[in-house]
């Protein structure tokens, strides 16, 4: 490794900006989790066909934060004997994306794992968004309800993600002690959020995660936080309210809550989920963890990252 590259990584490994958490962060999440723990999923599942003859696929719908019907795929390897308790990967996609196609998850299935891949509300999948909207917003979804921690889009998608894990844990053929949350970018951020907030999560894989060190991101990122930056540019007097809302969903502040093994990757040329933001959160994690930096990659998840994640999961789950 070149001196410049190793020095850059060494600097990032020492990067610890101050927390932005408000004094009631822990109380807020304790009360919020208690509030939603008993909320019914109102789930439905029906079998469907895929081009893969050895995969059992189901269309799933459930409710998370509100009465929006969240759509997902539940997939299990058909070659595993009935009655076998399977480890399960709960997958979240990147910003503007969707749950994808069943065949996108062939590597997990071939390794003997079930998969539950869900839409993020309102984005590029089949799922709508019934979150209330009282004020204006910039393009995209990030600024919906952004002036209040209880009305904002980040809260809705966080609860949706936690309820996805809850649904997976309830399935008869899932080993509830072996649930991994995984994804890239937005999906990586939601995976770390779920790891920080759900007692049902056993592992987390977060490639190039967002929702990290968001006060830095709103100022510097070229990704989804530009929507929040544009909102503040229109309403500069609302900056402090926006930053306060973001602080409750910032993994910089929630990372110390993570108690399960975590794999994280980062591209050092990434201008969307910038390395400073990812390391800021990662450096606060005290649980077993591994970081895989890619010095010459931008905002991208490639084959090597996916292979390392598969090796990590197979090892941790004893496959």
**Which residues carry out catalysis?**
185, 270, 299
CA distance 192 to 44: 26
Residue length of the chain? 319
Q: How far is CA 290 from CA 41, 173, 207, 247, 301, in A?
A: 33, 29, 11, 25, 16
CA distance 204 to 285: 12
The pair of structure tokens assigned to 213 is: 């060190």
CA distance 223 to 71: 25
Q: Is 95 annotated as a binding residue?
A: yes
Matching residue, tokens 């060190």: 213
Closest to 191 in 3D by CA, of 174, 179, 173: 179
DSSP character at residue 237: G
Determine contact, residues 229/219, Cβ cutoff 8 Å.
Answer: yes
User: Residue 228 contacts by C-beta under 8 Å, 6 or more apart in sequence?
Assistant: 138, 142, 143, 146, 218, 242, 246
Closest to 93 in 3D by CA, of 65, 67, 122: 122
Neighbours of 272 (CB within 10 A): 21
Q: Which residues are annotated as a binding site?
A: 95
Q: Which residues are annotated as a binding site for substrate?
A: 95
């Amino acid at each position: 490794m070149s001196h410049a590259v190793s020095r850059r990584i060494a600097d990032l490994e020492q990067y610890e900006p101050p927390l932005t958490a408000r004094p009631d962060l822990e109380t807020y999440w304790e009360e919020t989790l208690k509030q939603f723990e008993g909320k019914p999923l109102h789930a439905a599942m029906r079998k469907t066909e895929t081009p893969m003859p050895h995969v059992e696929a189901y269309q799933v719908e459930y409710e998370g934060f509100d009465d929006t019907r969240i759509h997902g795929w539940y997939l299990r390897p058909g070659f595993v004997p009935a009655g076998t308790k399977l480890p399960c990967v709960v997958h979240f996609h990147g910003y503007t994306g969707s749950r994808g196609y069943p065949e996108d998850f062939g590597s997990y299935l071939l390794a003997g794992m079930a998969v539950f891949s869900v839409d993020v509300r309102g984005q590029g999948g089949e799922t709508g968004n019934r979150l209330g909207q009282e004020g204006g917003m910039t393009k995209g979804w990030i600024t919906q309800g952004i002036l209040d921690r209880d009305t904002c889009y980040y809260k809705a998608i966080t609860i949706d993600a936690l309820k996805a894990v809850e649904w997976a844990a309830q399935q008869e053929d899932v080993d509830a002690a072996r649930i991994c949350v995984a994804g890239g970018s937005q999906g990586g951020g939601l995976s770390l959020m779920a790891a920080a907030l759900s007692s049902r999560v056993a592992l987390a894989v977060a490639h190039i995660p967002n929702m990290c060190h968001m006060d830095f991101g709103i100022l510097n990122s070229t990704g989804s936080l530009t929507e929040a930056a544009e909102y503040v540019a229109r309403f500069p007097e609302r900056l402090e309210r926006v930053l306060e809302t973001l602080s409750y969903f910032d993994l910089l502040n929630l990372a110390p809550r993570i108690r399960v093994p975590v794999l994280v990757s980062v591209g050092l040329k990434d201008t969307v989920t910038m390395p400073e933001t990812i390391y800021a959160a990662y450096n606060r994690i005290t649980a077993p963890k591994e970081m895989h930096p890619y010095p010459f990659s931008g905002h991208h998840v490639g084959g090597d990252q996916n292979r390392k994640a598969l090796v990590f999961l197979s090892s941790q789950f004893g496959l």
